Amino acid sequence: MARVPIEEGYFRIPDDPDAPPVLLGSKCPNCGEVFFPRRMVCAKCLHEGTEDVDLSTRGKLWTWTYCEIPLFGKKDTDVPGYGVGQVDLPEGPRIQAILLGGPDDFEIGMELELDLETLNTNRDGDDVVIYRFRPVDGGT
Amino acid sequence: MRRGLKFEGVAVAGIGMVRFGMLREYPIMHMARDAGLLALHDAGMTLADVDEAMVGYITPGSMIGVKAMKELGLTGLPVTHIENASATGLVAFREAAWAVASGRADVAMALCFDKFTEMGGTGGRGGGRDVIDAPILPASYFALWAQRRMHDRGTTVETYAKIAAKSWNYGAVSPMSHRRPDHVVTPEEVLASRMVARPLTSMMCCPADDGAACVILAREDLVRERQPGRRVVKPLASALQSESYARGHTFVGPVVGPSTMTRDTALECYEAASLGPDDVDVAFIHDAFVNEELEYYELLGFAAPGGGDKLVAEGATGPGGRIPFNTDGGLLARGHPGGPTGLAIVHECVQQLRGDATGRQVEGARVALAHLVGGGSVCTVNLLGVTD
């Protein structure tokens, strides 16, 4: 069964099921600022034309919360809640994403690594996935 | 050169609103009509007096503003649609004020309505919208901000709970508030309510409402002529900004936006009005989630960075305090239908400045500040005042 992204253009799914996804970013050739997601005009210096770059798969947790509402607004309750965080990548971008783990698993400043959350199965039988972060050491 | 708007010779002619709530049986066009008629009656006018209308909403589709205006009459007046998420109402107010200040209209109406109870689901898993920023709910975004503040400033959940209790208790004495508790709400009760996204409990989050509100602005001399003996409230200045880029900006999802946006928009508005935070007697802000209020104390200049917690401890932003905030209960208690929220704020500003805010009146209030953010991407700050 194949894995497909919830929306094209944001991340690449590796063939190796154990490898982290890769976030697709842009780097300004003029000022060097790096962005996620990709963009054509530099948001810092307004230079037109950026270079595609792959972003790091690890970052540090800037802030987090644990949303005690079933995942993604689902009305059923087999998922009690989910973590949400903002993660600073070494290149500069701050990524807002779902976190894997329970309400006691997160701490500001901790290192996290990207992986994939399966959201649902589409009509073709493929798994629809989105990127998420999980603590590098431990977590569930 | 971008600068705030300074309004001269413009006054509020009339205000009207439908009390917000989950009004499933109340058709949206009837809510819009009723808010409009209340404002026209307050102004002593009919639609024949109105030269232009700015109509705002978030949810219904194209051209619904014109449809709503037809409920009030068909006079051929120009109707412009305005949408800026939660800031829609204040932006409609700003544009109506500018229509009069610019001289192109003698009388301009700002009319807003929305029905959050008819909005779609929250998206994501299992048949929702398959887009990258759908899965995370709004409460989470603001909770992220609250958690970081607790880390940086040592803010406690008790401080957040005190602010929320203040808003609920203002709601109890505000006739237009959706939430009107029948008992004094304590910080303990707020903390004991259901956890939504830590540290935010359900009583720290606004309701998703239905409602409508209307404000009519007119040339000051017309208002004085038609309303002799009534204190005249005037829009003084307005600023509107969108996001500025800085490192750490998050682009994916309806984020809370950079906090600098409120600070910079307020500075622009203060400068246009030649006023500062010390001149403001009562303030209204976007408190969809309670931690926002604490941040805006500082970003609007009522406390130094990190000084907001002390304002709460001193009770400075509640009844009898130096600078009462959200005397109608704010988004938290008065409610938050989206588009009309900004006009409900103007409604309360006008009541405070006219001296009509029974049970919650800020004694001698002469200048009111009205702030909203929208979709994490825009901010507007407006000053209203009485000058005689």
**Separation between Cα atoms, residue A98 and residue A133, nearest integer Å:** 6
**Separation between Cα atoms, residue B277 and residue B8, nearest integer Å:** 20
pLDDT at res. B123:
35
Residues of A in contact with B122 (CB under 8 A): 72-73
Q: How confident is the model at residue A1 (pLDDT cuts 50, 70, 90)?
A: confident
Tell me the nearest-neighbour CA distance from A94 into chain B, angstroms: 5
| CB contacts < 8 A (A, B) | 119
| Chain A residues in contact with chain B using a Cβ-Cβ cutoff of 8 Å | 6-7, 10, 33, 35-37, 39, 43-44, 62-69, 71-74, 84-86, 88, 92, 94-96, 98, 103, 108, 119-120, 128, 130
Closest among B4, B227, B7, B5 to B100, alpha carbons compared: B7
Contact criterion met (CB < 8 Å) for B139 and A108: no
Tell me the nearest-neighbour CA distance from A43 into chain B, angstroms: 6
List all residues 6 or more positions away from A61 whose beta carbon is below 8 Å from its beta carbon: A85, A86, A87, A106, A107, A108, A109, A110, A111, A112, A133
In this prediction, residues B14-43 reach a mean pLDDT of: 97
**Omega of the bond leading into A37 within 30 degrees of 0 (cis):** yes
Residues of B in contact with A130 (CB under 8 A): 132, 135
Task: Give me the helix-helix angle, B291-299 and B260-273, nearest 10°.
Answer: 50
Q: How confident is the model at residue A139 (pLDDT cuts 50, 70, 90)?
A: very low
3-state secondary structure of B193: coil
pLDDT at res. B125:
31
pLDDT at res. B120:
56
Query: Is the pLDDT at B135 greater than 70, yes or no?
Result: no
Query: Is the pLDDT at B127 greater than 50, yes or no?
Result: no
Instruction: Kindly report the number of other CB atoms within 10 A of residue A52's CB atom.
Output: 9
Query: Is the pLDDT at A135 greater than 80, yes or no?
Result: yes
**Omega of the bond leading into B199 within 30 degrees of 0 (cis):** yes
Contact criterion met (CB < 8 Å) for A72 and B195: no
Radius of gyration, alpha carbons of chain B = 20
pLDDT in tens, B289-303: 999 999 999 999 999
Residues of B in contact with A44 (CB under 8 A): 245
- Specify the length of chain B in residues: 388
In this prediction, residues B27-48 reach a mean pLDDT of: 97
Contact criterion met (CB < 8 Å) for A96 and B147: no
Query: Is the pLDDT at A75 greater than 80, yes or no?
Result: no
pLDDT in tens, B229-275: 999 999 999 999 999 999 999 988 656 778 899 999 999 999 999 99
Mean pLDDT of chain B: 94
Contact criterion met (CB < 8 Å) for B250 and A86: yes
Tell me the nearest-neighbour CA distance from B337 into chain A, angstroms: 20
Best to test chain A binding among B122, B133, B142, B144 (most A CBs inside 10 Å) = B144
**Separation between Cα atoms, residue B367 and residue B364, nearest integer Å:** 9
Tell me the nearest-neighbour CA distance from A37 into chain B, angstroms: 7
Quote the longest CA-to-CA distance of chain B. Answer: 60
Residue A118: both structure tokens together: 């399966």
Contact criterion met (CB < 8 Å) for A63 and B139: no
| Closest partner CB to B126 (pick from A35, A94, A120) | A120
pLDDT at res. B130:
58
φ/ψ of B384, rounded to 5, equals: -125, 155
Domains and CATH numbers, chain B: 5-117+208-226 (3.40.47.10)
Contact criterion met (CB < 8 Å) for B144 and A6: no
- Lowest-confidence range among A115-129, B249-263, B351-365? B249-263
φ/ψ of B387, rounded to 5, equals: -115, 5
**Separation between Cα atoms, residue B388 and residue B381, nearest integer Å:** 23
Query: Is the pLDDT at B354 greater than 70, yes or no?
Result: yes
Query: Is the pLDDT at A78 greater than 70, yes or no?
Result: no
**Separation between Cα atoms, residue A42 and residue A49, nearest integer Å:** 7
pTM attached to this predicted model: 0.95
Query: Is the pLDDT at B339 greater than 60, yes or no?
Result: yes
Extract the runs of DSSP E, i.e. beta strands, from B294-356: none
3-state secondary structure of B168: helix
Instruction: Kindly report the number of other CB atoms within 10 A of residue B49's CB atom.
Output: 18
In chain A, what are the domain boundaries? 3-135
Sheet with strand B367-374: strands edge to edge = B5-6, B233-242, B378-386, B367-374, B282-284
Complex ipTM, two decimals?
A: 0.91
In this prediction, residues B310-327 reach a mean pLDDT of: 98
Residue B222: both structure tokens together: 């017309």
Q: Give the chain A residue nearest B145 (alpha carbons).
A: A63
Query: Is the pLDDT at B121 greater than 70, yes or no?
Result: no
pLDDT in tens, B145-204: 999 999 999 999 999 999 999 999 999 999 999 999 999 999 999 999 999 999 999 999
Residues of B in contact with A72 (CB under 8 A): 122-126, 128, 134-137
pLDDT in tens, B77-102: 999 999 999 999 999 999 999 999 99
- Lowest-confidence range among A10-14, A51-55, A71-75, B267-271? A71-75
Q: Helices (DSSP H) in chain A: which residue ranges?
A: none
The answer, for B208 touching chain A at a CB cutoff of 8 Å, is: no
pLDDT at res. B271:
97
CA angle (A11, A14, A19) in 5-degree steps:
105
φ/ψ of B122, rounded to 5, equals: -90, 5
